[in-house]
Amino acid sequence: MANSDLLTLMAVHAHPDDESSSTGGVLARYSDEGIRTVVVTCTNGEYGDGPGHLKPNEPGHDPARVAETRLSELKLACAHLGVDHVETLGFHDSGMADWDFKDRPDAFCNVPLEISVGRLVGLFEHYRPDAVVTYYDMGGQNHPDHRQAHRITVEAVDRTAIPAKGYFIARRRRDWQKLREQMAAAGMELQPPPRWWTDPERVRQMDEMEERITTMVDTAPWSSRKRAALASHGSQLDDSMWLRMSPESFADAFGVETFIRFMDRTGSPVPEDDLFTGLR
Protein backbone atom coordinates (compact mmCIF):
# COMPACT_ATOMS: atom_id res chain seq x y z
CA MET A 1 0.00 0.00 0.00
CA ALA A 2 0.98 3.62 -0.39
CA ASN A 3 2.93 5.42 2.30
CA SER A 4 0.39 7.66 4.03
CA ASP A 5 3.16 9.92 5.39
CA LEU A 6 4.28 10.99 1.90
CA LEU A 7 2.65 14.05 0.33
CA THR A 8 1.11 13.02 -2.97
CA LEU A 9 -0.10 14.87 -6.06
CA MET A 10 -2.46 13.04 -8.43
CA ALA A 11 -3.22 14.44 -11.89
CA VAL A 12 -6.23 12.90 -13.67
CA HIS A 13 -6.09 13.28 -17.45
CA ALA A 14 -8.11 12.17 -20.45
CA HIS A 15 -5.46 11.10 -22.99
CA PRO A 16 -1.72 10.48 -23.28
CA ASP A 17 0.03 13.87 -23.79
CA ASP A 18 -2.50 15.85 -21.69
CA GLU A 19 -0.33 15.26 -18.62
CA SER A 20 2.54 17.13 -20.28
CA SER A 21 0.67 20.01 -21.89
CA SER A 22 -1.57 20.79 -18.92
CA THR A 23 0.43 19.83 -15.83
CA GLY A 24 3.97 19.06 -16.99
CA GLY A 25 5.38 21.96 -15.01
CA VAL A 26 3.81 21.11 -11.66
CA LEU A 27 4.56 17.41 -12.06
CA ALA A 28 8.25 18.12 -12.65
CA ARG A 29 8.44 20.75 -9.91
CA TYR A 30 6.79 18.73 -7.19
CA SER A 31 8.70 15.60 -8.13
CA ASP A 32 11.91 17.56 -7.55
CA GLU A 33 10.56 18.77 -4.22
CA GLY A 34 10.14 15.21 -2.96
CA ILE A 35 6.40 14.98 -3.41
CA ARG A 36 5.14 11.73 -4.88
CA THR A 37 3.47 12.30 -8.25
CA VAL A 38 0.83 10.07 -9.82
CA VAL A 39 -0.58 10.46 -13.34
CA VAL A 40 -3.91 8.79 -14.10
CA THR A 41 -4.79 8.59 -17.81
CA CYS A 42 -8.42 7.68 -18.44
CA THR A 43 -8.29 6.62 -22.12
CA ASN A 44 -5.79 4.92 -24.39
CA GLY A 45 -5.99 7.70 -26.99
CA GLU A 46 -7.16 5.44 -29.84
CA TYR A 47 -8.50 8.34 -31.88
CA GLY A 48 -5.31 10.32 -31.93
CA ASP A 49 -3.26 10.64 -35.10
CA GLY A 50 -1.90 7.57 -36.80
CA PRO A 51 1.38 7.40 -38.79
CA GLY A 52 1.87 10.51 -40.88
CA HIS A 53 -0.90 12.17 -38.86
CA LEU A 54 -3.63 10.00 -40.35
CA LYS A 55 -6.97 10.78 -38.79
CA PRO A 56 -9.53 8.22 -37.57
CA ASN A 57 -11.43 6.59 -40.46
CA GLU A 58 -8.67 7.46 -42.94
CA PRO A 59 -7.05 4.45 -44.64
CA GLY A 60 -4.15 3.16 -42.56
CA HIS A 61 -5.40 4.47 -39.23
CA ASP A 62 -5.36 1.55 -36.78
CA PRO A 63 -6.85 2.59 -33.40
CA ALA A 64 -5.22 -0.32 -31.54
CA ARG A 65 -1.74 0.55 -32.85
CA VAL A 66 -2.30 4.24 -32.16
CA ALA A 67 -3.16 3.38 -28.55
CA GLU A 68 -0.05 1.21 -28.21
CA THR A 69 2.15 4.02 -29.51
CA ARG A 70 0.56 6.68 -27.34
CA LEU A 71 0.79 4.64 -24.14
CA SER A 72 4.47 4.03 -24.84
CA GLU A 73 4.97 7.77 -25.34
CA LEU A 74 3.13 8.42 -22.09
CA LYS A 75 5.67 6.39 -20.13
CA LEU A 76 8.58 8.23 -21.74
CA ALA A 77 7.03 11.64 -21.10
CA CYS A 78 6.37 10.82 -17.47
CA ALA A 79 9.97 9.70 -17.08
CA HIS A 80 11.09 13.17 -18.24
CA LEU A 81 8.77 14.72 -15.65
CA GLY A 82 9.94 12.46 -12.83
CA VAL A 83 6.46 11.01 -12.30
CA ASP A 84 6.55 8.22 -9.75
CA HIS A 85 3.50 6.25 -10.85
CA VAL A 86 1.55 6.10 -14.12
CA GLU A 87 -1.90 4.53 -13.96
CA THR A 88 -4.19 3.90 -16.94
CA LEU A 89 -7.92 3.32 -16.54
CA GLY A 90 -8.01 1.73 -20.00
CA PHE A 91 -11.20 3.28 -21.35
CA HIS A 92 -11.75 3.82 -25.08
CA ASP A 93 -11.13 7.26 -26.55
CA SER A 94 -14.40 9.07 -27.35
CA GLY A 95 -13.01 11.30 -30.08
CA MET A 96 -13.89 14.95 -30.51
CA ALA A 97 -17.26 16.52 -29.70
CA ASP A 98 -18.29 16.75 -33.36
CA TRP A 99 -17.23 13.18 -34.26
CA ASP A 100 -19.62 10.23 -34.32
CA PHE A 101 -17.19 8.05 -32.32
CA LYS A 102 -18.47 9.61 -29.13
CA ASP A 103 -21.75 7.73 -29.63
CA ARG A 104 -20.11 4.32 -29.21
CA PRO A 105 -21.38 2.63 -26.04
CA ASP A 106 -17.83 1.75 -24.99
CA ALA A 107 -16.54 5.32 -25.41
CA PHE A 108 -15.25 6.75 -22.14
CA CYS A 109 -17.88 9.48 -22.12
CA ASN A 110 -20.61 6.80 -22.14
CA VAL A 111 -19.20 4.43 -19.53
CA PRO A 112 -21.49 4.36 -16.46
CA LEU A 113 -20.09 6.48 -13.66
CA GLU A 114 -20.31 3.56 -11.25
CA ILE A 115 -17.63 1.84 -13.32
CA SER A 116 -15.36 4.77 -14.15
CA VAL A 117 -15.62 6.45 -10.76
CA GLY A 118 -15.13 3.10 -9.08
CA ARG A 119 -11.77 2.61 -10.79
CA LEU A 120 -10.61 6.07 -9.81
CA VAL A 121 -11.81 5.64 -6.23
CA GLY A 122 -9.66 2.52 -6.04
CA LEU A 123 -6.61 4.60 -6.97
CA PHE A 124 -7.56 7.28 -4.44
CA GLU A 125 -7.71 4.62 -1.76
CA HIS A 126 -4.36 3.17 -2.79
CA TYR A 127 -2.33 6.37 -3.22
CA ARG A 128 -4.18 8.62 -0.71
CA PRO A 129 -3.52 11.82 -2.72
CA ASP A 130 -3.31 15.06 -0.77
CA ALA A 131 -3.91 17.22 -3.84
CA VAL A 132 -5.80 16.23 -6.99
CA VAL A 133 -5.74 18.08 -10.31
CA THR A 134 -8.07 17.65 -13.29
CA TYR A 135 -9.88 19.74 -15.88
CA TYR A 136 -12.34 22.58 -15.51
CA ASP A 137 -15.75 21.42 -16.74
CA MET A 138 -15.58 23.28 -20.06
CA GLY A 139 -12.17 24.91 -20.21
CA GLY A 140 -13.01 26.23 -23.67
CA GLN A 141 -12.59 23.00 -25.65
CA ASN A 142 -15.70 20.98 -24.73
CA HIS A 143 -13.90 17.67 -25.34
CA PRO A 144 -16.10 14.70 -24.25
CA ASP A 145 -13.25 12.86 -22.55
CA HIS A 146 -11.99 15.95 -20.73
CA ARG A 147 -15.47 16.66 -19.44
CA GLN A 148 -15.86 13.04 -18.32
CA ALA A 149 -12.48 13.11 -16.55
CA HIS A 150 -13.74 16.21 -14.74
CA ARG A 151 -16.94 14.42 -13.70
CA ILE A 152 -15.33 11.26 -12.37
CA THR A 153 -12.64 13.17 -10.48
CA VAL A 154 -15.10 15.47 -8.73
CA GLU A 155 -17.27 12.45 -7.89
CA ALA A 156 -14.29 10.50 -6.52
CA VAL A 157 -13.28 13.49 -4.38
CA ASP A 158 -16.82 13.70 -2.98
CA ARG A 159 -17.15 9.97 -2.35
CA THR A 160 -13.85 9.42 -0.60
CA ALA A 161 -13.07 12.71 1.15
CA ILE A 162 -9.44 11.62 0.80
CA PRO A 163 -7.78 14.63 -0.90
CA ALA A 164 -7.25 17.73 1.17
CA LYS A 165 -7.21 19.97 -1.90
CA GLY A 166 -8.73 19.78 -5.38
CA TYR A 167 -7.83 21.85 -8.43
CA PHE A 168 -9.10 22.50 -11.94
CA ILE A 169 -6.64 23.33 -14.72
CA ALA A 170 -7.39 26.87 -15.91
CA ARG A 171 -5.21 28.08 -18.76
CA ARG A 172 -5.79 31.79 -19.35
CA ARG A 173 -6.76 33.19 -22.76
CA ARG A 174 -4.11 35.85 -22.32
CA ASP A 175 -1.47 33.09 -22.21
CA TRP A 176 -2.68 31.63 -25.51
CA GLN A 177 -2.63 35.13 -27.00
CA LYS A 178 0.92 35.68 -25.73
CA LEU A 179 1.94 32.39 -27.30
CA ARG A 180 0.59 33.44 -30.70
CA GLU A 181 2.29 36.81 -30.46
CA GLN A 182 5.64 35.15 -29.74
CA MET A 183 5.18 32.81 -32.69
CA ALA A 184 4.33 35.70 -35.01
CA ALA A 185 7.35 37.66 -33.80
CA ALA A 186 9.55 34.66 -34.58
CA GLY A 187 8.19 34.52 -38.12
CA MET A 188 6.32 31.26 -37.57
CA GLU A 189 3.24 30.53 -39.64
CA LEU A 190 0.15 30.74 -37.47
CA GLN A 191 -2.73 28.34 -37.84
CA PRO A 192 -6.26 29.82 -37.66
CA PRO A 193 -7.43 30.27 -34.07
CA PRO A 194 -9.49 27.35 -32.75
CA ARG A 195 -13.26 27.77 -32.60
CA TRP A 196 -13.21 28.07 -28.82
CA TRP A 197 -11.05 31.20 -29.23
CA THR A 198 -13.59 33.10 -31.33
CA ASP A 199 -17.01 31.66 -30.49
CA PRO A 200 -18.72 34.25 -28.23
CA GLU A 201 -20.12 31.65 -25.82
CA ARG A 202 -16.81 29.86 -25.50
CA VAL A 203 -15.01 33.16 -24.98
CA ARG A 204 -17.48 33.99 -22.22
CA GLN A 205 -16.79 30.63 -20.58
CA MET A 206 -13.03 31.14 -20.81
CA ASP A 207 -13.30 34.59 -19.27
CA GLU A 208 -15.50 33.23 -16.49
CA MET A 209 -12.96 30.49 -15.82
CA GLU A 210 -10.10 32.98 -15.66
CA GLU A 211 -11.94 35.07 -13.10
CA ARG A 212 -12.06 32.02 -10.82
CA ILE A 213 -8.30 31.33 -10.86
CA THR A 214 -6.96 31.04 -7.32
CA THR A 215 -3.55 29.46 -7.76
CA MET A 216 -0.54 30.38 -9.91
CA VAL A 217 2.46 28.07 -9.66
CA ASP A 218 5.89 29.12 -10.93
CA THR A 219 7.10 26.35 -13.24
CA ALA A 220 9.64 28.30 -15.32
CA PRO A 221 12.70 26.42 -13.99
CA TRP A 222 11.09 23.17 -15.14
CA SER A 223 10.06 24.35 -18.62
CA SER A 224 12.80 22.37 -20.37
CA ARG A 225 11.48 19.16 -18.85
CA LYS A 226 7.93 20.03 -19.81
CA ARG A 227 9.13 20.64 -23.36
CA ALA A 228 11.02 17.32 -23.40
CA ALA A 229 7.89 15.54 -22.16
CA LEU A 230 5.82 17.10 -24.95
CA ALA A 231 8.45 16.05 -27.49
CA SER A 232 8.09 12.48 -26.24
CA HIS A 233 4.59 12.47 -27.75
CA GLY A 234 6.01 12.65 -31.26
CA SER A 235 3.18 10.77 -32.92
CA GLN A 236 0.84 13.64 -32.03
CA LEU A 237 3.02 16.68 -31.46
CA ASP A 238 6.05 16.45 -33.75
CA ASP A 239 4.82 19.48 -35.71
CA SER A 240 3.11 21.30 -32.87
CA MET A 241 3.54 25.01 -32.29
CA TRP A 242 4.95 24.23 -28.84
CA LEU A 243 7.93 22.34 -30.19
CA ARG A 244 8.59 24.82 -32.98
CA MET A 245 9.15 27.58 -30.42
CA SER A 246 12.61 28.37 -29.15
CA PRO A 247 13.34 27.05 -25.64
CA GLU A 248 13.43 30.64 -24.40
CA SER A 249 10.04 31.50 -25.87
CA PHE A 250 8.61 28.26 -24.56
CA ALA A 251 9.83 29.04 -21.04
CA ASP A 252 8.35 32.52 -21.25
CA ALA A 253 4.98 31.24 -22.48
CA PHE A 254 4.71 28.28 -20.11
CA GLY A 255 6.54 29.54 -17.03
CA VAL A 256 3.37 29.59 -14.91
CA GLU A 257 0.61 26.99 -14.56
CA THR A 258 -2.71 28.29 -13.28
CA PHE A 259 -5.53 26.54 -11.43
CA ILE A 260 -8.90 26.99 -9.77
CA ARG A 261 -9.05 25.54 -6.27
CA PHE A 262 -12.46 23.91 -6.04
CA MET A 263 -12.02 22.10 -2.74
CA ASP A 264 -9.91 22.75 0.36
CA ARG A 265 -9.79 21.13 3.78
CA THR A 266 -6.74 23.04 5.03
CA GLY A 267 -8.26 26.48 5.57
CA SER A 268 -5.37 28.12 3.71
CA PRO A 269 -6.18 31.47 2.07
CA VAL A 270 -6.25 32.29 -1.62
CA PRO A 271 -4.70 33.46 -3.84
CA GLU A 272 -1.83 31.02 -3.43
CA ASP A 273 1.31 30.03 -5.32
CA ASP A 274 1.61 26.39 -4.20
CA LEU A 275 -0.77 23.45 -4.58
CA PHE A 276 0.44 22.26 -1.17
CA THR A 277 -0.11 25.45 0.81
CA GLY A 278 -1.47 24.40 4.19
CA LEU A 279 -0.04 20.88 3.88
CA ARG A 280 3.66 21.53 4.53
* pTM of the complete model: 0.93
Handedness of CA 142, 91, 229, 137 (dihedral sign): positive
Class for the domain spanning 8-264: alpha beta
Q: Would you kindly state where each structural domain of the chain is located, as residue ranges?
A: 8-264
- Spatial distance between the Cα atoms of 236 and 242, rounded to a whole number of angstroms: 12
Closest CA to 18 of 237, 249, 176: 237
Quote the mean pLDDT of the chain.
Answer: 91
Judge whether residue 180 has pLDDT over 60. Answer: yes
pLDDT band at 141 (very low <50, low <70, confident <90, very high): low
pLDDT-wise least confident of 26-35, 184-193, 202-211, 248-257: 184-193
Q: What is the percent of the chain with per-residue pLDDT over 90, rounded to a whole number?
A: 72
Segment 85-97 mean pLDDT: 95
pLDDT band at 92 (very low <50, low <70, confident <90, very high): very high
> What band does 190 get if pLDDT is binned at 50, 70 and 90?
confident
Q: What is the mean pLDDT of residues 139-160?
A: 90
**Residue partners of 53: CB distance under 8 A and separation at least 6:** 239
pLDDT digit string, tens, across residues 38-83: 999 999 999 999 999 999 989 999 999 999 999 999 999 999 999 9
Residue 3: pLDDT over 60: no
**Res 240 pLDDT > 80:** yes
Q: Is 68 helix (H, G, I), strand (E, B) or coil?
A: helix
